[in-house]
Amino acid sequence: MMISILIPCHNEEKTIKECLESCLFQTLKFDEIIVVDDGSTDSTPSILESFGKKITVVRIPKKTGNKSFAQQKGLKFVTGDILVMTDADTILHCNFARRIALDFKDKKTVAVAGYVKSLKHNWLTACRELDYVIGQDIYKTAQSYIDAVYVMPGCASAFRTKVFKKCITFDHDTLTEDLDFTYKLHEKGLKIKYDRKAIVYTQDPATIRSYVTQMKRWYSGGWQNLSKHRKVILEKPGNSLELSLMFIEGFMFSSLMFIVPIINITLFAYFMMLYLPVLFAFSLYGTVKRKRLDLLIYFPAYLILLFLDAYLFIRTFFDEIVFKNKNRKWTIPERRDILCNTEEDFH
Amino acid sequence: MQPIGGLTVLVNLFIIFLGNVKKKLSKYISLNLHLSLPRYTPHVIVFSCFALSFAGLFFIVKDSVYSYDSNYYIYDLGPPCEPFAINLSGDRQVILRLDDVQAFAWRDVSFAIVNEATSRKIPLVLGIIPFRLQDDPATTGYIKKNVCNLEIAQHGWSTDKYAHDTNETEKLNETNIYFNIMAGKSELEKISSDPVITFIPPFNVYSSKTAYALKSAKFSIISSDNGGLYDSTTLTYDYQKNESISTSKIVSSCEEAFKKSLPCIIMIHPQDFATNGKLDEKKYYAFTALLDDLQGRNVTFVRFKDIYHP
């Protein structure tokens, strides 16, 4: 079974080297590493060249402006039986490829969703890590029990190449292509496995500005895909349960975050007092699980982000669903150098 | 991820629990169970959960905006307030000062005391804490209904908080104290038929700055422990010994006041007759016994405003 990995990149000079090294130093080697250079104007091309024949570089002279365009170009060069997709700001755990190979031994498995950890940087990344803990250890684990994995993370997903080429089309009509792929697999009734041991480390926004940009993209993509694949809600019971809960509760909760303080500030204060210990419990769990004290230190900041998330969630709902202002603009995320102080985690 | 409420977390934790139970069981017995959901189950679950949430939310919002309060309507029924005649000629005057009347707390006890007094044609002075009063239409509605036989006195520094601290106004200047007190006063005047001119300092303590501010706020009567115009003679509960003061002791304090040609001002608190926030019949009996005793002693019951002559 041949395993290929596809990495689209655009101006990734700060992270691409570490990303490729993590792909090369796997306990089970990738048979093919394909990097799609989407019109980079920084030193990314020369870094890619330094890897020589260890990788295959597909060059797009002029940037396409969207990750899924780059992936589509790169897909033509994939020859492996298994296609792994990741991002250029992501570092794979040394056992990632081995885990993926194991997962695909089950013939029914068509796709694998990996487990994402956030690279440590500041309070924002700590809050994001807490988000990942709740999202993956609770939401996604439960979803996997009822065959309703909500999303295969763009930085940690793997597919049977044949099935991917046959069932998945690059529509470029949403901002979250990974979510689009996941919905398409669900529509076809194909099995997605969630492997908590297929770990990747990704770089998350470290400034409020980039955080807002990313959340807007994620939420817009979420609403776009929900609207595009609404059939899934009616036809797949598991997905129906998860999607209804996530989106209806998300919307109700977000609205209440702003309505309740206006109606009754005391009630809101009580609610927050109740919310804080629950959040503390999650952050304590995350701290122990991840061995990251910053999750505990910064957990109160999560409340601030909660307001921000609530606002963005409602705003994107109105933009995408009510006013149909379809946002297709892909924003280039901010990158920073990957520090190797967490190297023991990778290997 | 979507903003995290609580329902999704709970449902997902339950699914994980079921999944783990299934896994554990299949280790020991060969089970061919699938954790799959019948087609319309999720819709029923989600609909039920959200129906319940909406119902809960409705009651929360209803309580919060106070658009409807069953108590309010109950107390709003019945005939309008009819003032009863107050005998001002007697020289053995008793003023019942019911302090700590406030939104929500000991509401039933306060109402019971007012009902008891009204049924005996005894006027009362209510020392009302203005904090969150506007949020409790049951209390304001009830007071409005009976206000013709009551005197509304302010018993708090502001509308922002309870009076937790005896020196609460010490940190403020006269102007700030004035504005705080005025905020409370304007709330009370919404339920009072007359301008509110009586102030009962919380804990019966106030500073010279407060006195100045009270004067500016046009409070003519201050009833405290010491130094007010009408200071309390006795109270119904000994907070240091944590026990009720006997009727005989209260009556003898009154008799002493009468000898000095002073009115007997009895300070009452609803909490004196309550246990765990509810009316305690046993304690309340002492109050009715006191009223029986006083009424048998040829005293006249009045309010501050009845005897105050500027």
CA closest to B22 among chain A residues? A145
| ipTM of this complex prediction, to 2 decimal places | 0.82
CA closest to A232 among chain B residues? B39
Distance CA A19, CA A29 (A): 14
Name the 3-class secondary structure at B94: strand
Q: Cα dist. B98→A158, B21, B114, B155 in Å?
A: 75, 60, 9, 10
- CB-CB: which of A138, A146, A248 is closest to B36? A146
Q: B236 pLDDT band (50/70/90 cuts)?
A: confident
Say what the pLDDT of residue A263 is: 79
Cβ B2–A222 below 8 Å, yes or no?
A: yes
- CB-CB: which of B50, B61, B64 is closest to A248? B50
Supply A228's token pair.
């595009």
Reported as half-sphere exposure (CB side, CA atoms, 13 A), residue B189 has a value of 15
Residue to substitute from A146, A215, A219, interface B, most B β-carbons within 10 A: A146
Say what the pLDDT of residue B62 is: 61
Instruction: Establish, for the pair of chains A and B, how many residue pairs have beta carbons separated by less than 8 Å.
Output: 103
Distance CA A37, CA A12 (A): 9
Chain B residues with beta carbon closer than 8 angstroms to that of A248: 46, 50
Residue B2 lies in a domain: no
CA closest to B36 among chain A residues? A146
Whether B32 and B174 map to the same domain: the answer is: no
Q: Cα dist. B3→A245, A272, A324, B14 in Å?
A: 11, 14, 22, 19
Alpha-carbon dihedral angle through residues B170, B173, B175, B178, given to the nearest 10 degrees: 0
Say what the pLDDT of residue A159 is: 94
Q: Cα dist. B174→B84, B170, B181, B212, B217 in Å?
A: 39, 9, 10, 7, 11
Q: B68 pLDDT band (50/70/90 cuts)?
A: very low
Distance from B50 to chain A by nearest Cα, in Å?
8
For chain A, residues with pLDDT lower than 70 are 326-333, 338-347
- CB-CB: which of A237, A264, A267 is closest to B38? A237
Domain boundary among the residues B37, B71, B105 is at: B71
Cβ B12–A139 below 8 Å, yes or no?
A: yes
In sequence order, the β-bridge partners of residue A52 are none
Mean pLDDT lowest for which of A188-197, A324-333, B22-31, B65-74? Answer: B65-74
> Hey, is the C-beta of B36 within 8 angstroms of any chain A C-beta?
yes
Name the 3-class secondary structure at B2: coil
Chain A residues with beta carbon closer than 8 angstroms to that of B57: 256
Whether B135 and B55 map to the same domain: the answer is: no
Chain B residues with beta carbon closer than 8 angstroms to that of A308: none
| Listed residue (A76, A115, A103, A202) closest to A159, CA to CA | A103
Q: B30 pLDDT band (50/70/90 cuts)?
A: low
Q: Cα dist. A144→A33, A84, A141, A250, B18 in Å?
A: 29, 19, 5, 20, 12
Length of chain B: 310
For the segment B150-184, what is each residue's pLDDT rounded down to a tens digit?
A: 999 998 776 666 555 555 556 677 788 888 888 88
Chain B residues with beta carbon closer than 8 angstroms to that of A139: 1, 8-9, 12
- B 51-90 residues with CB < 8 A to A: 53, 57, 60-61, 64-65
Q: Cα dist. B207→A136, B198, B202, B231, B232 in Å?
A: 60, 16, 12, 15, 18
Residue B198 lies in a domain: yes
CATH number for the domain spanning A23: value is 3.90.550.10
For the segment B209-228, what is each residue's pLDDT rounded down to a tens digit?
A: 888 888 888 998 888 876 67
Domain count, chain B: 2
The single-letter code of the amino acid at B26 is S
Whether B270 and B169 map to the same domain: the answer is: yes
CA closest to A252 among chain B residues? B5
Average pLDDT score over chain B: 81
Residue A87 lies in a domain: yes
Q: Which residues of A touch B (CB under 8 A)?
A: 131, 134-135, 138-139, 141-143, 145-147, 219, 222, 237-238, 240-242, 244-250, 252-254, 256-257, 263-264, 267, 278, 306, 309-310, 313
Residue A278 lies in a domain: no
Q: In degrees, to the nearest 5, what angle opens at C-alpha B176 toward C-alphas B195 and B152?
A: 25
Whether B41 and B94 map to the same domain: the answer is: no
Residue B134 lies in a domain: yes
Whether B251 and B113 map to the same domain: the answer is: yes
Length of chain A: 347
Whether B217 and B280 map to the same domain: the answer is: yes
Residue B271 lies in a domain: yes
- CB-CB: which of B2, B46, B64 is closest to A241? B46
Residues in CB range of B172: below 8 A, 6 or more apart: B180, B209
Residues in CB range of A29: below 8 A, 6 or more apart: A97
The single-letter code of the amino acid at A276 is L
Contact in structure between A54 and A33 (CB atoms under 8 Å): yes
* Residue B24, H or E segment: helix B7-28
Domain boundary among the residues B47, B71, B95 is at: B71
Whether B207 and B283 map to the same domain: the answer is: yes
Cβ A249–B18 below 8 Å, yes or no?
A: no
Whether B176 and B279 map to the same domain: the answer is: yes
Say what the pLDDT of residue A278 is: 87
Residue A24 lies in a domain: yes
Distance CA B20, CA A263 (A): 42
Whether B126 and B63 map to the same domain: the answer is: no
Say what the pLDDT of residue A37 is: 92
Say what the pLDDT of residue A141 is: 93
Residue A57 lies in a domain: yes
Whether B65 and B114 map to the same domain: the answer is: no
Residue B79 lies in a domain: no
Residue B46 lies in a domain: yes
Distance from A248 to chain B by nearest Cα, in Å?
8
Whether B28 and B146 map to the same domain: the answer is: no
Domain count, chain A: 1
Say what the pLDDT of residue A346 is: 46
Say what the pLDDT of residue A327 is: 65
Residue B76 lies in a domain: no
Residue A270 lies in a domain: no
Whether B63 and B95 map to the same domain: the answer is: no
Q: Is the dihedral of CA A236, A241, A246, A250 positive or negative?
A: positive
Name the one residue in this structure whose structure tokens are 């044949």.
Answer: A162
Say what the pLDDT of residue A300 is: 87
> Hey, is the C-beta of B33 within 8 angstroms of any chain A C-beta?
no
- B 13-32 residues with CB < 8 A to A: 13, 15-16, 18-19
Cβ B2–A249 below 8 Å, yes or no?
A: yes
Chain A residues with beta carbon closer than 8 angstroms to that of B7: 245, 249
Chain B residues with beta carbon closer than 8 angstroms to that of A283: none
- CB-CB: which of A131, A241, A245 is closest to B1? A131
> What domain range is A171 assigned to?
3-140+148-204
Residue B35 lies in a domain: yes
Cβ B36–A250 below 8 Å, yes or no?
A: no
Residue B159 burial (C-beta neighbours within 10 Å; 0-12, 13-18, 19+): buried
Residue A35 lies in a domain: yes
Residues in CB range of B62: below 8 A, 6 or more apart: B68
- CB-CB: which of B11, B37, B39 is closest to A245? B11
Distance CA A97, CA A152 (A): 16
Residue A64 lies in a domain: yes
For the segment B94-153, what is each residue's pLDDT rounded down to a tens digit?
A: 999 999 898 888 888 999 999 999 999 999 999 999 888 888 888 888 888 888 999 999
> What domain range is B157 assigned to?
86-307
Say what the pLDDT of residue B113 is: 93
Residues in CB range of A280: below 8 A, 6 or more apart: A296, A299
| Listed residue (B307, B129, B93) closest to B203, CA to CA | B129
